[in-house]
Amino acid sequence: MNPAATNDDVVIIGAGPAGLTAGLELVRAGRSDVTILEATQDIGGLSKTVNFKGNRIDIGGHRFFSKSDWVMDWWREMLPVALPQGASSETGYRLAYQGAQRLLGACAVTARESDPDVMLVRNRLSRIYWGGKFFDYPLKPGLDMAAKLGPLKCVSLGASYMRSSLAPITPERTLEDFFVNRFGRQLYETFFKEYTEKVWGVPCHEISAAWGAQRVKSLSIGTALWHALRKAVSGSGAAEQTSLIENFLYPKYGPGQMWETAAKRFEAAGGRIVRGAEVQAIERQDNRVTGVRARMADGQELAFAAGHVISTMPVRELMSALRPAPAPTALSIGQGLQYRDFITVGLLYRKLRKTAATIDARTNLVADNWIYIQDAGVKVGRLQVFNNWSPYMVADPGTVWVGLEFFARDDDSLWAMSDEALKALALREMRQLNLADEADALDATVIRMPKAYPGYFGRAYEQFEILREWLDGIHNLYLVGRNGMHRYNNQDHSMLSARLAAQAILSGGADHAPIWAVNIDDEYHEEKT
């Protein structure tokens, strides 16, 4: 044990958004005994930015938008917002996202895009790519969609929708039932099945309908068609379209810039980050944790006494690290939790192939931030266009920098592929999708991110409450963040849970319930399947 440690020491596991938020809250409140142990050499966890020869990769694409004022202010204080070109700082600038709006008051928008440490306001566009065509996401049934599908497909989709409306599947048990009842079987198979099954690695008929109700934006086809008809008759489409443009904040050099800035501030305020320290054991005595042991890359073991531990490490690994081992039921639930792993293949192109969505004649760039790939014949699930997240993500703005996202499991054949084989697969699929030619490819890289998605399926997940109750019995251990809580938390929810853990420590409280209440019934999530 570290002899200098006192019983007040706080050990935080993980330097992702949650760990750094908790750390900063504690040092800002005057605590000088806060150590973050980070397994990798990187800062930011899933929200880091990978820099490949000046071309930056954001893992999954991180929009910065929150319904929480505290989170928005925290981000803006870290990286001020640069006023978008043409916007007036006098009237204030309004940010719109997923039905929520917030005013970035004039005083909040003081920085300029040319400043290095700023957030930009970026427009959001994501579409579904199917059959070589781009469809609005969420789907907007109407004339545009009908024209892209052609009359035959429209008739059969309509008939399938009518069949489902007249005879819905009851009871609605699975995610497949959920989709079919709302969209009809054909629309489901065309626009939802492939991507959803790629993400989760499980057929939709094995996922519960409750998952759909929680995650899928409700859409009434009947109402959408009525709006489309009204628009066509009244000609009000263009005005309505403009008001629907959504945007979000985004650090100039990707999400990692936010968390690297936070890490610098944490260290400047007296906090300590040990990089390359993988926590392997958490010692406990009765209902308290007493210390943490971490292994460095060279095999050296470091030991830290701990008065409090805040954990953002995956719950499955946490359960295996506890010494003595947890009660057998809790341990077996913890060890049964499942995850989805994530591969991004970054491809740098001279130009894309020309499509109907091309907005730049030289590079054939499209305007999307990301594109859902719905075709069955390819393994890629989603395509990120990093140029559109921030032009500063690309070393040469005259090139196109994309990320092909593959959803995998660390024991499957996709994950086992070599980097070279993955690059070849990505290049081949871009051609197969008619999006780019190998001859125009300039460079490639592969990033693997284990445990990107905590799985909401399987027997162990169904028993998660038992596990949670057991863990809550350890008074000075706080589970926060995404994998830390095995919850589909975005950055803001990860930060809010971390803030509550810091507050509990500062006030001497041990109530974990408010932390678990973050993100319950909050309909804003990172993406909809």
Ligand X SMILES: Cc1cc2nc3c(=O)[nH]c(=O)nc-3n(C[C@H](O)[C@H](O)[C@H](O)COP(=O)(O)OP(=O)(O)OC[C@H]3O[C@@H](n4cnc5c(N)ncnc54)[C@H](O)[C@@H]3O)c2cc1C
State the nearest-atom distance from the C-beta of 404 to ligand X, in Å: 13
**464: number of CA atoms within 13 Å, CB side?**
16
Structure tokens at 261: 């800035």
Binder among 34, 50, 60, 72 for ligand X (CB under 6 A): 60
Residue ranges of E strands in 234-315: 246-251, 272-275, 278-285, 288-295, 301-305, 308-311
Binder among 388, 483, 519, 529 for ligand X (CB under 6 A): 483
Nearer to ligand X, 47 or 181 (CB): 47
Residue ranges of E strands in 367-430: 370-373, 382-385, 400-408
Distance CA 331, CA 329 (A): 5
Structure tokens at 506: 């500062």
**Phi, psi at residue 522, to the nearest 5°?**
-100, 115
246 neighbors 100 (Cβ within 8 angstroms): no
Q: Is 311 helix (H, G, I), strand (E, B) or coil?
A: strand
Considering the rule CB under 6 A, would residue 369 count as an interface residue with ligand X? no
Instruction: Single out the residue of 284, 279, 269 nearest to residue 301, CA to CA.
Output: 279
Which region, judged by CB under 6 A, interacts with ligand X, from 37-45, 104-112, 192-200, 297-305? 37-45
Binder among 366, 492, 501, 505 for ligand X (CB under 6 A): 492
Burial class (CB in 10 A: 0-12, 13-18, 19+), 40: middle
**Phi, psi at residue 10, to the nearest 5°?**
-110, 125
State the nearest-atom distance from the C-beta of 252 to ligand X, in Å: 16
Nearer to ligand X, 187 or 258 (CB): 258
Considering the rule CB under 6 A, would residue 490 count as an interface residue with ligand X? yes
Considering the rule CB under 6 A, would residue 341 count as an interface residue with ligand X? no
State the nearest-atom distance from the C-beta of 372 to ligand X, in Å: 12
Binder among 63, 351, 487, 499 for ligand X (CB under 6 A): 63
Binder among 11, 121, 279, 357 for ligand X (CB under 6 A): 279
Distance set, CA 438 to CA 316, 351, 359 (Å): 41, 10, 21
Binder among 25, 27, 57, 62 for ligand X (CB under 6 A): 62
Binder among 262, 313, 357, 383 for ligand X (CB under 6 A): 313
Distance set, CA 450 to CA 45, 59, 102, 380, 526 (Å): 11, 11, 34, 17, 18
State the nearest-atom distance from the C-beta of 421 to ligand X, in Å: 22
Binding mask 431-470 for ligand X (x = CB under 6 A): ---------------------x------------------
Binder among 8, 136, 267, 278 for ligand X (CB under 6 A): 278
Binding mask 4-23 for ligand X (x = CB under 6 A): ---------xxxxxxx----
Q: Residue 444's beta-bridge partner residues?
A: 347
Binder among 10, 46, 199, 305 for ligand X (CB under 6 A): 46
State the nearest-atom distance from the C-beta of 462 to ligand X, in Å: 23
Binding-site ranges for ligand X (CB under 6 A): 13-19, 37-40, 45-47, 60-63, 278-279, 312-313, 317, 452, 481-484, 489-492, 494, 526
